[in-house]
Amino acid sequence: MLRLYRERKRHFAYLKYVLRHKYHVFRAGMLLGVPIWQLVIHDLSKFSKVEWFAYAETFYEENGLPRYKESYEFSAAWNHHQKVNPHHWQYYQLVWDRGTKTILPIPINYLLEMLADWSGAGKVIADTYSPIAWVSANDEILKANLEEHTYYVVMALMRMTDWSSL
């Protein structure tokens, strides 16, 4: 508790980011037709002990100023986040003991939430609801890591959505 008090500016800065992100994901999710309850519980794991401290320490200095300082703790927290939140494409990566990978399709409700997540992150980080620029810059990664049908559905939905209405 003393640590939380001493680093309160860091934690308030991170809380502000998470709440802004959730707000913007909610707005984008409503546009995309994501069920309301799914939007309410979006990213709740970020409030868990396993994620909170690692994220706050990665993205904020003790005084609350932004930074990016990766660590083993952050890698573990990010892995946890991906594996407990089905709106992340990494959730659908099945790595077999034999060393091969199977990419599974993403159910439509989580695919829509994934788009809303990209949109909400874009609004908070780059001040744009449209994820098109981010997706274009990461197209090869997405193409290699999304099931083929899922990839084409994501691309079509992203381009058909009127992001300017947000």
Range 80-100 average pLDDT: 97
Name the packing angle between helices 108-126 and 148-160 (round to 10°): 50
SS3 annotation, 62-92: CCCCECCCCCHHHHHHHHHHHHHCCCCHHHH
Helices (H), the chain: 2-6, 8-32, 36-40, 49-59, 72-84, 108-126, 132-137, 139-145, 148-160
Higher pLDDT, 5 or 109: 109
Q: What is the C-alpha separation between 145 and 92, in angstroms, rounded? A: 9
Q: What is the C-alpha separation between 33 and 51, in angstroms, rounded? A: 28
Please say if the pLDDT value at position 2 is more than 80.
Answer: no
In the structure, what pLDDT confidence band is assigned to residue 6 with cuts at 50, 70 and 90? confident
Write out pLDDT tens, residues 10-62: 999 999 999 999 999 999 999 999 999 999 999 999 999 999 999 999 999 99
Write out pLDDT tens, residues 139-155: 999 999 999 999 999 99
pLDDT of residue 5: 67
